[in-house]
Amino acid sequence: MKRTIATLAAAASLGLAGLAAPAYCADAFPSKPLRLVIGYAAGGSADVVGRLLAKEMGVSMGQSVVVENKPGANALIANKDVERAAPDGYTLVLTSLSHVVNPILNPKTANYDPVASFSPISMVATLPLVAVTAYDSPYRSLQDLIGKAKAEPGSVTYGSAGTGGSGHLAGSMLSLAAQAPMTHIPFKGNAPALTEVMAGRVSYTFFPMVGIAELVKEKRLRVLAVATRHRMPQFPDAPTLAESGFQGFEDTAIWLGLMAPARTAPAVVNNIYEEARKALAVPAVRQRLQELGAVPEGSSPAQFTDYLKSDIQRWTHVIEESGIRVE
């Protein structure tokens, strides 16, 4: 009898252990390194912020967060890669404005819903744009640039990270608002576009403020205007677009957000969100982001989802009004 009771007890113990296994696995996340895909070139603003976040999250989680750059097609390559990944939380994408713009501009190629096809985790940061030109360019002000574009249509060029990116949208908005024809030149990332501007081969670009201050101090770039509601402390002499007579450019600020594939378990999504939020709360991280010109955010999955829905409406309107098409 005692032997039978012992056998039943052992079986019950094994059964309880089996029932507890799924909870243990969930609690153990992450049990291996994570992959953070970034759809822009190394050295650009998204890459800088992504690597800073990945490093801090990796320390906190006890697992490496490996950054993988997959530039091209206005970040569509990276988005599609993550969309197809297993919804286990181990493959993430640091995405941006292009995430909502791609399906608007080219729905057949993008073939995804910015919200339903992914699991939004958190908006990490926003990056205000600044209009910059080479320090030794003939343009000393935004008015100089616009004057040239009006006098010689097509002579002024502006670079961007790709068709439909924040720089493209901002440049198109300025061209339309000023009634000054300008030529858009897309690149595979912000960094290559900025390199061409500094070399004088492209007239100017709307660039996120990450890394700009150092280049301005080194007299490699000149700030023509800032796309913010108020002047930036880093560039007190640079007027806002509004001061220059152009309203609404605050909405061109780049946002950077973390997403996982659709159907990722809510518990895993919340786990990653909490880790991102903790990373953004680290004083050294916040200070570094602010030095770079990025504004730390750390919104919840629900807040980020709501923002994405409003962003879709905003840029659908801008693209239709501006007549932007895939080049």
CATH code assigned at 262: 3.40.190.150
Task: Give the domain-ending residue among 217, 252, 287.
Answer: 252
Residue 18 maps to a domain = no
140 and 229 in a common domain: yes
Tokens at 295, concatenated:
């504004």
138 and 73 in a common domain: no
CATH code assigned at 220: 3.40.190.10
Place of tokens 């700030």: 223
Q: How many domains is the chain built from?
A: 2
For residue 248, what are the domain limits? 129-252
44, 78 contact by CB (below 8 A)? no
264, 84 contact by CB (below 8 A)? no
Task: Give the domain-ending residue among 252, 273, 291.
Answer: 252
260 and 237 in a common domain: no
The per-residue DSSP string of 184-243 comes to: EEE-SSHHHHHHHHHTTSS-EEEEESTTHHHHHHTTSEEEEEE-SSS--TTSTTSPBTTT
Inter-CA distances, 32 with 7, 90, 95, Å = 36, 8, 22
Residuewise pLDDT in 10s, the chain (327 residues): 444 434 434 444 434 344 433 333 456 899 999 999 999 889 877 898 999 999 999 999 999 999 999 998 878 999 999 999 999 999 999 999 889 999 999 999 999 999 999 999 999 998 889 999 999 999 999 999 999 999 999 899 999 987 777 888 899 889 989 999 999 999 987 889 999 999 999 999 999 887 788 899 999 999 999 999 899 888 999 999 999 999 988 878 889 999 999 999 999 999 999 999 999 999 999 998 887 778 899 999 999 999 999 889 888 887 887 778 775
Residue 86 maps to a domain = yes
205 and 143 in a common domain: yes
pLDDT at 115: 97
Q: What are phi and psi of 226, to 5 degrees?
A: -120, 140
pLDDT at 327: 57
The per-residue DSSP string of 115-138 comes to: TTTEEEEEEEEEE-EEEEEETTSS
224 and 135 in a common domain: yes
Residue 7 maps to a domain = no
Bridge partner list, 252: none
248 and 140 in a common domain: yes
38 and 95 in a common domain: yes
Residue 163 maps to a domain = yes
Residue 110 maps to a domain = yes
Show Cβ contacts of residue 307 under 8 Å, excluding neighbours closer than 6 positions.
123, 255, 299
DSSP-based three-state secondary structure for 89: coil
278 and 207 in a common domain: no
114 and 147 in a common domain: no
120, 301 contact by CB (below 8 A)? yes
260 and 243 in a common domain: no
170 and 240 in a common domain: yes
79 and 50 in a common domain: yes
Residue 159 maps to a domain = yes
